[in-house]
Amino acid sequence: MASSSQSPFDDLRISLDPTTIDLALGQKRVKAIDHDGAIIYEDDESLEADLTSQLERIWNEYPGGLLDLSESKLESLPPDAIAFQPKPKPEEGQGGEGEKKRDVFKMMDWDEMERLRSEMFMQLNDARNELWFALELAKTLSVSSAHPSHPPPPPPTTLPQHQKKQPKPKATPALAAAAPPTIPGDPPILPPGTFTTTPSSLPSVPLHDTVNDLIQLVRARDDAVEECLGLVDGAVEELALMGRAGDRFWRDVRGLREGQGGRGRWAVVPKPDFARTGTMKDGEKAKDVIVPYAIDEASPATRARCIAGFDLDPTLPTSLSFPARGYRRVRVLLRDPAGTVMSSGVEAEEKAGDVREEMERAQMEAFDQDLFTQIRIEASTLDKSIIEPFQVQIQIPTSSHTLIFQLYSPPSAPSPSPSPSPSSLHSNLASTSPLCKLLLASARINLLSALRVQKQNLVAASSSSSSSSSLQQGVVGSLLEGLAFKALWEGVQNTVRSLAKALKGAGLQAEVGRDVSVSVGAGGKGEGKDTGDRGIMSVLGQVLQGNKVGEGFEVVWSLSLADR
């Protein structure tokens, strides 16, 4: 039983070379592809034939033998090492493909001419074959396309052998060369043996399909007519709306021009009517356009924005009305060292009014945007200033207070307000302060003064010291001087009061008094005097507006002592 369990093929060892495996699997190496698409495989060679061909190739490449290769050297080399590495030629490094670069100034030898001749012959042969294929294809297409209109003649009728001796009638050639059928519905007559799928007659369309197609056409026509009517009605309504808006706009403009409400506050510029005479009075040649504030006092950007923004009806809440409006205003915040923030307040929410109210809001928005731009420019030259897209923080040099200018969107703005910066989140809880309102009004007055001085310099250049000093201080400089004056005033006042408090603690009766006098008039040569708190506010207002305080300002602090 033990001998029967052993198989006679246990000690059998089979080794197959790659050529035998490829032949068994039906895989052959492709040698070339012929022009007609036929694939030429390499001849099946055994391993010995392959080694013989490699040896022949090496012998042909090295006619003088295998150079300095020896049996001992080959035995010492590792199995994966290369026995001989040829040195690269200088032309191989330049060409990149190992081929010798041909000298263009040298004549071709016989081998190069033969190679060029063979290459040109192959290219011409390929082009000739492609042209022949295109011509045959065109000929076939032309013949096949002419079958319905010009069918080929019918095949000749062959008579049987026993009828050949009978005389043929004379009408037989005429019948053989009969004209093609003239009925357009008949199928073409093709040569014998030609397969065709041309139907003998066109299929008849059912009546209900024809009715359905007609219904679809009528429905499509009705839809197109309704769409056109909707477009026409929309265009007529748009034109009527534009006409009513234009009439209302120019009526309000005329009311502002002829009334007293807009005198001295608006810049009135004539504009041609462009043949619209429906709302014009007799003898009126042009209409007036209202722009926010005088265009000759504004910057070029503001002037272009104002002229472009008021060509449309400002009362329509569309995106085309006031295209340059940002719906943002400026407010002033003042933060003390303890973190308390005071604000100039937020504009109250207003309802949509007439054209005049809308223009007033647009005027202040454009002016505040120019004011904020000027403040950003001046703050960039100051130390310890933080400039953000919608906020500017300026550190006051003589105190620990921080002056903040913020560009915000009022509640009445149609667009949502921008997201506040992290440093301005506390500004929404600020309390309203008269000082901040005074600072905001002073900043606006300073900007108007600077624009007025620029206008005067353009008209007639003057070298006055007052105009040059106001231009040098700008908008922020006078505000910082006013806050420094306020800090100095509070410092002196606190010092005197602390001294009086100390004297009171020592048993003396101390009273603090002050006498403030400010000359009112040109040059400080009095026409009158402001005293007390009114004088202080007058001095602070002059400082905030950039005016230098001269000899007309006098402050006398008094401390009276008496025994108890």
Taking only the tens place, the pLDDT of each residue in 70-85 is: 777 778 888 777 776 6
Provide φ and ψ at 392, rounded to 5°.
Answer: -130, 125
| Region 474-478 average pLDDT | 87
| CA-only gyration radius of the chain, Å | 53
Residue 35 φ/ψ, nearest 5 degrees: -70, -30
pLDDT of residue 375: 93
Q: Write out the residue range of the structural domain in which residue 415 sits.
A: 292-474
Partnered with residue 268 across adjacent β-strands are 290
The sign of the dihedral angle between the CA atoms of 300, 302, 308, 310 is negative
Compute the distance between CA of residue 188 and CA of residue 191 in angstroms, rounded to an integer. Answer: 10
Q: d(Cα 202, Cα 116) in Å, to the nearest integer?
A: 60
User: Do residues 302 and 417 both lie within one domain?
Assistant: yes
Instruction: Say if residue 354 is in the same domain as residue 500.
Output: no
Is residue 133 assigned to a domain?
A: no
- 448 φ/ψ angles, rounded to the nearest 5 degrees: -65, -40
**DSSP string for 30-92:** EEEE-TTS-EEEPP---HHHHHHHHHHHHHHH-TT-STT--HHHHHHS-TTS-S--PPPPHHH
Residues 329 and 277 in one domain: no
Percent of the residues in the chain that have a pLDDT greater than 70, as a whole number: 48
Of 257, 291, 325, which residue constitutes the final position of a domain?
Answer: 291
Is 105 part of a structural domain of the chain? no
Q: How many CA atoms lie within 13 A of 329 on its CB side?
A: 20
Entry field: residues in the chain = 564
Number of domains within the chain: 4
- Residues whose CB falls within 8 Å of the CB of residue 148, separated by 6 or more in sequence, listed in order: 188
- CA gap 166, 212 in Å, rounded: 63
Residue carrying structure tokens 């008039």 = 521
Cα(408)–Cα(331) distance, rounded to whole angstroms? 8
Q: Strand 341-343's sheet: what is its strand order?
A: 385-388, 391-395, 402-408, 329-335, 341-343, 431-432
Q: Is position 156 within any domain?
A: no
Residue 100's pLDDT is: 66
| Inter-CA distances, 316 with 263, 305, 323, Å | 25, 18, 12
pLDDT of residue 136: 79
Same domain, 301 and 442: yes
In a domain, 187, yes or no: no
Among candidate residues 474, 497, 517, the one where a domain is terminated: 474
pLDDT over 50 (residue 293): no
Position 341 pLDDT exceeds 80: yes
Q: Give the per-residue pLDDT at 403.
A: 93
Range with the poorest average pLDDT among 110-124, 345-359, 476-490: 345-359
Nearest-angstrom CA–CA distance, 72 and 70: 5
Average pLDDT over residues 295-300: 50
- Both tokens assigned to 404: 């903040």
CA 360 to mean position of chain CA atoms: 34
Residue 393 has pLDDT above 80, yes or no: yes
Are residues 313 and 323 part of one domain? yes
d(CA 108, CA 401) in angstroms, rounded, equals 92
Residues 6+ apart with CB under 8 A from 448: 297
CA distance 167 to 87: 94
39 within a domain of the structure (yes/no): yes
Q: pLDDT digits over 457-471, tens only?
A: 665 655 555 555 555
The two tokens of residue 522 are: 């040109």
pLDDT band at residue 386, thresholds of 50, 70 and 90? Answer: very high
Distance CA 176, CA 156 (A): 7
- Minimum mean pLDDT range among 160-169, 355-364, 365-374, 389-398: 160-169
Q: Token pair of 343, please?
A: 């604000």
Distance, CA of 129 to CA of 545 (rounded, Å): 95
Listed ranges 134-143, 246-255, 498-507; the one with the highest mean pLDDT: 498-507
Answer whether 318's CB lies under 8 Å from 290's CB: no
Rounded distance between C-alpha atoms, residue 494 and residue 188, angstroms = 120
H or E, element range at 334: strand 329-335
Better-scored residue on pLDDT, 441 or 18: 441
Residue 538 has a pLDDT of 67
86-95, 332-341, 349-358, 397-406: segment of lowest average pLDDT: 86-95
Residue 463 lies in a domain: yes
Answer for the pair 310, 282: CB distance below 8 angstroms, yes or no.
no
- The band of 270, judged by pLDDT with boundaries at 50, 70 and 90, is very low
Higher pLDDT, 44 or 99: 44
- Residue 423 has a pLDDT of 42
Contact 478, 546 (CB under 8 A): yes
Residue 164, pLDDT > 70, answer no
Residues 233-238 have a mean pLDDT of 82
DSSP per position, 476-496: HHHHHHHHHHHHHHHHHHHHH
pLDDT at 189 over 80: no
Residue with tokens 């940002």: 326
449 and 339, same structural domain?
A: yes
Q: By C-alpha distance, which of 402, 396, 397 is closest to 423?
A: 402
Query: Strands 341-343, 431-432: parallel, antiparallel or unpaired by DSSP?
Result: parallel
**Residue 561 carries which DSSP code?**
E
> Do residue 386 and residue 397 come from a single domain?
yes
* Residue 75: predicted pLDDT: 81
Q: Are both 235 and 297 inside the same structural domain?
A: no
Higher-confidence residue of 374 and 515: namely: 374
What percentage of the chain has pLDDT greater than the value 90?
6
Which range (319-323, 364-368, 452-456) has the least confidence? 319-323
Residue with tokens 């921080």: 402
pLDDT level of residue 524 (50, 70, 90 thresholds)? very low
Residues 398-410: pLDDT tens digits? 788 899 999 998 8
323 assigned to some structural domain: yes
CA dist 118 and 270 (Å) reads 86
**Cα dihedral 134, 136, 137, 139 sign:** positive
**Which of 62, 78, 94 corresponds to the end of one domain?**
78
> Is residue 168 domain-resident?
no
Residue type, 334: L
Give the Å distances, CA to CA, from 304 to 291, 314, 364, 514.
10, 17, 16, 52
pLDDT winner (highest mean) among 178-192, 348-362, 463-477? 348-362
- Give yes or no: residues 66 and 214 share one domain: no
**Mean pLDDT over the full length of the chain:** 69
Same domain, 518 and 538: yes
Same domain? 392 vs 407: yes
> How open is the CA angle 32-35-41, to the nearest 5 degrees?
25
- Give the DSSP letter string of 246-298: HHHHHHHHHHHHHSSTTTTT-EEEEE--SS--SSPPTT---EEEEESS-GGGS
- d(CA 439, CA 448) in angstroms, rounded, equals 14
Say how far apart CA 447 and CA 475 lie, in whole Å. 6
**Coil/strand/helix, residue 227:** helix
Of 101-115, 149-163, 381-395, which range is least confident? Answer: 149-163
* Residue of higher predicted confidence among 355 and 3: 355
What type of residue is 557?
Answer: W
User: What is the rounded distance in angstroms from the CA atom of residue 132 to the CA atom of residue 125?
Assistant: 10
Q: Is residue 272 domain-shared with residue 337, that is, in the same domain?
A: no
In the prediction, which pLDDT does 331 show? Answer: 94
User: Confidence class of residue 332 from pLDDT cuts 50, 70 and 90?
Assistant: very high
